[in-house]
């Protein structure tokens, strides 16, 4: 059994492709079903965020599984297979753990140390469990990676300062408009974790905006954000007022999960406004860039904000990386040890099965033995089996966690036809 991950991320793929390949969470089940229908994919988890879409899988054949995952993603999102293959990243076995642990720790994020990714990984695993697409090994990999991510944030200062997309967005807005923010009105579209973080960040500024209006398809969800803050500057508007709200606001921040653009150039007038689009796919059509007095920023612009906050955090990034390396080694050691224990148990069960089967086969020859004599035969054969199993058992246990241990395990499986 081997691990494989195939996907694209902001490190190697253009934003346009990321946008087209992003999988809405309500489609995870369909994608998982399509993945498991392939011959070489035994288990799978789909992770799709604004900056990465990846499949983590337990596989049989490496090359076959890579092609199957790529083709499944391309077909589902109607993307050319060759285009996706040109930008995909592939990790195998140990590389999968190296990659996922760093994703969970925020070391692969545009905003290093950001917290949102932990929730995204947790929800991805939960969806895979709901679809019965994941087994104990892949589940353990995700749980251990998320545990490492929590440790990194607890033991290092990587989470100091701008540590989430929400905070980075608020910083981006402040840098863009300066002190005039205090007199401006802001519309926040969406009411998920990211949108709520933006609203809380804006409301928490010493010189925050004059008003923040939250608009969401589900009105009560938006109302819950406003109610929890108890800030008179934060109000709620119904979804039907979205376009008029965007036209009237100085700043509009989109943090919604939508299948297509909500706003185009034809929906807006020529008043001066700032639009920040955090959606993936994007909520605001690129046509608004043609409007002379509209400035549209997206996720790519957050990187400049993040770079400015990282100048004094390189030591913390190194410390976080050290923790991740330790946690990866612990996980791999535990996995190898479990593998050694399992193969030892299977080997001993096989030998004992042969012993008992042979005694049963020769039971007529032993029928004249007294119970005491029969027990001596049983004891003698058990002792012989234990002595035969002793040397390979000792070698496997001593080599657990090493390349030699893996070779010994594979040899034992092949020699004795173990599962």
Domain map (residue ranges) of the chain: 2-160, 178-302, 334-416
**pLDDT tier for residue 1 given thresholds of 50, 70 and 90:** low
Question: What DSSP letter does each residue of 277-334 carry, written as one string?
Answer: E--SS-SB-GGGGGSTTEEEEEHHHHHHHHHHH-TT-HHHHHHHHHHHHHHHHHHHHH
User: Which strands form 52-59's sheet, in the order they lie side by side?
Assistant: 41-49, 52-59, 2-9, 89-92
Mean pLDDT, residues 376-399 taken together: 86
Confidence (pLDDT) at 312:
57
**pLDDT tier for residue 311 given thresholds of 50, 70 and 90:** low
**pLDDT tier for residue 93 given thresholds of 50, 70 and 90:** confident
The H-assigned helical ranges of 230-268 are: 242-248
For residues 114 and 306, give the distance between their C-alpha atoms in angstroms, rounded to a whole number: 11
Confidence (pLDDT) at 31:
96
Confidence (pLDDT) at 307:
66
For residues 268 and 160, give the distance between their C-alpha atoms in angstroms, rounded to a whole number: 38
Q: pLDDT higher for 405 or 32?
A: 32
Q: Is the pLDDT of residue 161 over 60?
A: no
**pLDDT tier for residue 404 given thresholds of 50, 70 and 90:** confident
Partners of 8 in beta bridges: 53
**pLDDT tier for residue 73 given thresholds of 50, 70 and 90:** very high
Does residue 11 have a cis peptide bond before it, meaning omega lies within 30 degrees of 0? no
Domain 2-160 in this protein, CATH class: alpha beta
| 3-state DSSP helix/strand/coil % of the chain, to nearest 5 | 60, 15, 25
What's the topology of domain 178-302?
Rossmann fold (3.40.50)
Q: Are 40 and 59 in contact (CB under 8 A)?
A: yes
For residues 278 and 253, give the distance between their C-alpha atoms in angstroms, rounded to a whole number: 7
Per annotation, catalytic residue among 21, 44, 47, 50: 50
CB neighbours (10 Å) of residue 266? Answer: 8
Report the SS3 class of residue 56: strand
Asked if the domains 2-160 and 178-302 are classified in one and the same CATH topology, the answer is no
Q: Out of 179-188, 229-238, 241-250, 379-388, which region has the weakest mean confidence (pLDDT)? A: 379-388
Nearest to 71 by CA among 62, 60, 82, 61: 82
DSSP state of 50: T
Q: Are 202 and 170 in contact (CB under 8 A)?
A: yes
Mean pLDDT, residues 246-251 taken together: 95
Is 283 tagged catalytic? Answer: no
Phi then psi dihedrals of residue 307, to 5 deg: -60, -35
Q: Is the pLDDT of residue 9 over 70?
A: yes
Q: Is the pLDDT of residue 393 over 60?
A: yes
Mean pLDDT, residues 19-25 taken together: 89
In sequence order, the 6+-apart residues with CB closer than 8 A to the CB of 26 are none
């Amino acid at each position: 059994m081997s691990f494989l991950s195939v996907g694209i991320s902001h490190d190697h793929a253009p934003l346009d492709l990321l946008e087209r390949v992003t999988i809405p969470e309500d489609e995870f089940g369909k994608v998982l079903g399509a993945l498991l229908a392939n011959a070489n994919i035994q288990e799978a988890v789909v992770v799709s965020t604004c900056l990465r879409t990846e499949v983590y899988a337990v596989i049989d054949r490496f090359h076959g599984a890579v092609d199957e995952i790529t083709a499944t993603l391309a077909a589902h999102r109607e993307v050319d297979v060759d285009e996706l293959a040109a930008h995909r990243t592939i990790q195998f076995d140990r590389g999968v753990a190296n990659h996922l642990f760093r994703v969970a720790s925020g070391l692969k994020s545009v905003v290093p140390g950001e917290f949102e990714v932990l929730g995204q990984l947790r929800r991805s695993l939960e969806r895979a469990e709901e679809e019965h697409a994941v087994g104990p090994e892949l589940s353990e990999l995700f749980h251990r990676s998320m545990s490492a991510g929590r440790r990194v944030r607890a033991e290092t200062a990587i989470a100091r300062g701008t540590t989430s997309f929400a905070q980075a967005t608020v910083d981006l807005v402040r840098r863009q408009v300066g002190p005039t923010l205090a007199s401006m009105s802001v519309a926040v579209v969406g009411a998920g974790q990211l949108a709520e973080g933006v609203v809380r960040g804006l409301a928490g500024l010493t010189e925050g905006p004059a008003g923040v209006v939250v608009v969401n398809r589900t009105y009560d969800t938006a109302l819950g954000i406003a109610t929890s803050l108890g800030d008179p500057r934060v109000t709620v508007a119904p979804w039907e007022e979205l376009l008029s709200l965007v036209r009237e606001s100085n700043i509009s921040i989109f943090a919604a999960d939508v299948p297509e653009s909500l706003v185009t150039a034809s929906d807006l007038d020529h008043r001066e406004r700032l639009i920040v689009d955090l959606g993936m796919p994007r909520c605001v059509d690129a046509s608004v860039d043609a409007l002379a007095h509209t400035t549209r920023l997206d996720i790519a612009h957050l990187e400049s904000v993040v770079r400015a906050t990282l100048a004094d955090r390189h030591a913390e990034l190194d410390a976080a990386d050290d923790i991740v390396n330790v946690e990866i080694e612990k996980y791999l050691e535990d996995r190898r040890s479990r593998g050694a224990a399992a193969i030892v148990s299977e080997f001993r069960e096989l030998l004992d099965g042969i012993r008992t089967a042979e005694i049963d086969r020769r039971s007529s020859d032993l029928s004249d033995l007294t119970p005491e004599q029969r027990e001596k035969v049983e004891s003698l054969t058990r002792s012989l089996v234990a002595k035969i199993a002793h040397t390979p058992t000792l070698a496997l246990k001593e080599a657990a966690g090493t390349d030699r241990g893996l070779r010994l395990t594979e040899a034992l499986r092949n020699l004795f036809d173990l599962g």
